[in-house]
Every structure is written in C-alpha cells, then in structure tokens.
Chain A
Amino acid sequence: GDSVTQMEGPVTLSEEAFLTINCTYTATGYPSLFWYVQYPGEGLQLLLKATKADDKGSNKGFEATYRKETTSFHLEKGSVQVSDSAVYFCALGAMGTNAGKSTFGDGTTLTVKP
C-alpha cells in the first residue's frame, strides 16, 4: 500500500539557518504530494503541493520538488524564522477509488531558536 517516510525529528535550528526535511514515498500510479504544517493546538494547514513529476511547490519561502525518479519530495527553506517552529507533515493523495484519502508521514518537529 501507499506509505510516506519522513526524516525523523526533532530538528533544532538557529534563526536564518537552512532547512531540509526529507520525505520519500511509496505509491502506485502518480499521486499528488503535499506538505502540511501544524502549529501547537491547531489543525493542519496546507503549506505547498505538487501534482506531477518535476513540479515545484512553493509558499512562504518553503519549496519542494516532486522527484519521481527518487520518489522524494524534500522540503527546503533558505532561512528559517522562529515563527516557523511547528510540526511538518509530508503526505500523498491517492487516486482512483481511494481518491481523497491522504497518507501522511509521522511528522517532523522543527524548533527554531533566536
């Protein structure tokens, strides 16, 4: 079945450091890929998405590229801020009869220190 593997956390960085959170997936067909962010006490918010191979999703300085050949969708940001501290989830969207079902990784907790 479909699965998502995320880089284990927690990740602690200083402000303005470079961020990479690794994500790889296993899926049949050509799923869409997503990064969600969850702030303390809140639900998930979509951060960015990519719907086909070589697409790059970007938002708020975060970027991720859909790499079909390596089945990866790594999240990057050039300069993190304290306000980026949150839990980040990589997810894939199923197709066909399971359309709408998303499979999530276990999340990576990011803490940014001033």
Chain B
Amino acid sequence: ETGVTQSPTHLIKTRGQQVTLRCSSQSGHNTVSWYQQALGQGPQFIFQYYREEENGRGNFPPRFSGLQFPNYSSELNVNALELDDSALYLCASSLELAGNSEQFFGPGTRLTVL
C-alpha cells in the first residue's frame, strides 16, 4: 500500500506566475484535502475534494483552485502568485468524508515565490 505522494518536492516561482502542484492519494482513499503551512505556523485548510467535486473551502481567494481526477489524485493550482504564497503545501487523503476520519499526509511541496 503506497502512501500519499506529492510532486514536485520544491518549486521556485516569481510573483505573478502560475503553479500546479500534484498529489496522489493513498490507495483506496476517495477524499483529498489541501493545506497551506506557512513557516512557523500550523496548516491552514484550503479546500477538500470528494469524488471529484469540491466539498468545503477555507478562507482562500479564488486564484486557489483544484481538481480531483477519477483515480482520486488531485491538483492544486495557484494563479497570480504573491510573495505570501510562499509556504509548504500539504496534501492529505482519507477514506471517508467524515471529521473523525484519519487523514494521511504527504511530505509536502515547498513553494518559494520571489
């Protein structure tokens, strides 16, 4: 059973560019959540996808968007990058759409915006 994987590991972009981050969920998991973790802070919920549809969104602007594919893998897209978007982006997968369902986290993608 493979765990949650994310790509790329590190990424450097400049302000105003667009970026796509990828996540493969743990085998059999149909729910994927994305989090932004700024340096020295806890992860902040961006949004969640369940069976290819967005199900719940945190306090992030529309330039943060996502997709979930039929195999339950997911992408996070960020347009018009800003310096404050520099952070570790974490993907987490779970089996059920439930608050008490354990989430399994990937290692994250470190995004630096210059």
Listed in ascending order, the chain A residues whose CB lies under 8 Å from chain B are 4, 31-32, 36, 41-46, 49, 51, 89, 91, 93-95, 97-107
Give the residues in chain B near A45, CB-CB below 8 Å: 105
Interface residues on B, range: 20 to 34
Give the residues in chain B near A99, CB-CB below 8 Å: 55-56, 97-99
Q: Shortest beta-carbon distance, B93 to chain A, in Å?
A: 10
- In this complex, what residue of A is CB-closest to B98? A99
Can you add 10 more A-B contacts, CB < 8 Å, to A44-B43, A44-B90? A32-B99, A43-B90, A43-B107, A46-B102, A94-B56, A94-B99, A98-B56, A100-B56, A101-B99, A102-B33
A105's partner among B42, B56, B90, B102 (CB-CB below 8 A) is B42
> What separation, in Å, do the CA atoms of A7 and B97 have in the docked complex?
30
Query: Is the C-beta of B62 less than 8 angstroms from some C-beta in chain A?
Result: no
Most chain B beta-carbon neighbours within 10 Å: one of A95, A99, A105: A99
Query: Is the C-beta of B31 less than 8 angstroms from some C-beta in chain A?
Result: yes
23 cross-chain CB contacts under 8 A:
A4-B42, A31-B99, A32-B99, A41-B107, A43-B105, A46-B102, A46-B103, A49-B102, A89-B43, A93-B99, A98-B99, A99-B55, A99-B97, A100-B33, A100-B55, A100-B97, A100-B101, A100-B103, A101-B33, A101-B48, A101-B56, A102-B35, A107-B41
